Structure 1
Amino acid sequence: MSDTNDDKVRLDKWLWAARFFKTRALAKAAIEGGKVHHRGERCKPGKEPKVGDVYLIRNGFDERSVVVQALSVVRRGAPEAQALYAETPDSVERREQAAAQRKAGALGMQTDGRPSKKQRRQLHQFRDNQE
């Protein structure tokens, strides 16, 4: 079995080889959970990706749109894995904007936990006065 330019590769195996997920089990679970889309539709783990296909992959907060450039069934180093796909420029821009918004929002949204009874009373009084 050749390790690159293989015509028949499962999608979960390709995602694992391209280093989107640490294990094939995680890749399969993500596909079955609807985190991977092709042409706007959910995929199955056994789908065979082809060079030129565009996949939308959600992993945590990130959503990437990638174009398949090469196929591989073997997980190699990161530089070789990055050669298997190319992320679209608008995808990179969306991810950077989302990261900046998360970073800005995280700084302003720090709380000390649940409000105390006194703070809840003050909130209720404030809302009542607004109405």
Structure 2
Amino acid sequence: MTKQQAKKSTNGADGTTEPVRLDKWLWAARFYKTRAIAKQMIDGGKVFYNGQRSKSSKMVNLGDKIRIRQGFDEREVIIIGLADRRRDATFAQTLYQETESSVEVREKTALARRQGILLSPASDTKPDKKQRRQLRQFKERN
């Protein structure tokens, strides 16, 4: 077995403690569908590694904190496993643990979004010509 083959067999999804690139880990943990998308999110400032922006080539280690913004949600996770290969979703969930405060904040924001939608429901029909005229007059008045 060559040196490179030995490295490949000891690094990755079999539970080693060797550091893995941030973009590879995010892809393997199934936060993003492709590594290219993971790299874009890291470069775009949507991912914070230990409270700081970082490069996609940053090596992650066990116990590090990652804050990820995806749409309306923001998650803070602690790395408890390393992998550089993508496997099934049940395995991916064993790679991280979401903090309690992160879960609470996500639930509160989801509830607020649901209540906001319920308080201002959309109309079933489009406004007719008269209603459109009234809306336009009301908007121009203010």
Normalising by structure 2, we get a TM-score of 0.80
Give the distance between the partners of 1:95 and 1:122, measured in 2 at CA. Answer: 37
Give the distance between the partners of 1:39 and 1:72, measured in 2 at CA. Answer: 19
Aligned 8 A contact 1:6 1:73 in 2: no
2:132 alignment partner in structure 1: 116
Aligned partner of residue 64 in structure 1, secondary structure: strand
| Superposed CA RMSD | 2.0
Give the distance between the partners of 1:88 and 1:43, measured in 2 at CA. Answer: 21
1:94 matched to 2:105? The reply is yes
By how many angstroms is 1:6 displaced? 5.0
Within 5 Å, give how 1:50-65 maps onto structure 2.
Answer: 50-65=61-76
Give the gaps of 5 or more residues in structure 1.
none
Aligned partner of residue 59 in structure 2, secondary structure: coil
Give the distance between the partners of 2:91 and 2:81, measured in 1 at CA. Answer: 10
Identity between Structure 1 and Structure 2 (%)? 45
Deviates more, 1:82-91 or 1:108-117: 108-117
Between Structure 1 and Structure 2, how many residues are aligned? 126
Aligned partner of residue 23 in structure 2, secondary structure: helix
1:69 alignment partner in structure 2: 80
Aligned residue identity for 1:116:
R
Give the distance between the partners of 2:103 and 2:54, measured in 1 at CA. Answer: 22
By how many angstroms is 1:77 displaced? 0.8
By how many angstroms is 1:106 displaced? 1.7
By how many angstroms is 1:120 displaced? 2.7
1:22 matched to 2:33? The reply is yes
Structure 1 residues 61-94: Cα deviation after superposition (integer angstroms, max 9, x where no partner):
1100000001101111111100000000010010
Deviates more, 1:102-111 or 1:9-18: 102-111
Aligned partner of residue 87 in structure 2, secondary structure: coil
Deviates more, 1:109-118 or 1:58-67: 109-118
Structure 1 residues 78-116: Cα deviation after superposition (integer angstroms, max 9, x where no partner):
111000000000100100111111111122234458972
Normalising by structure 1, we get a TM-score of 0.86
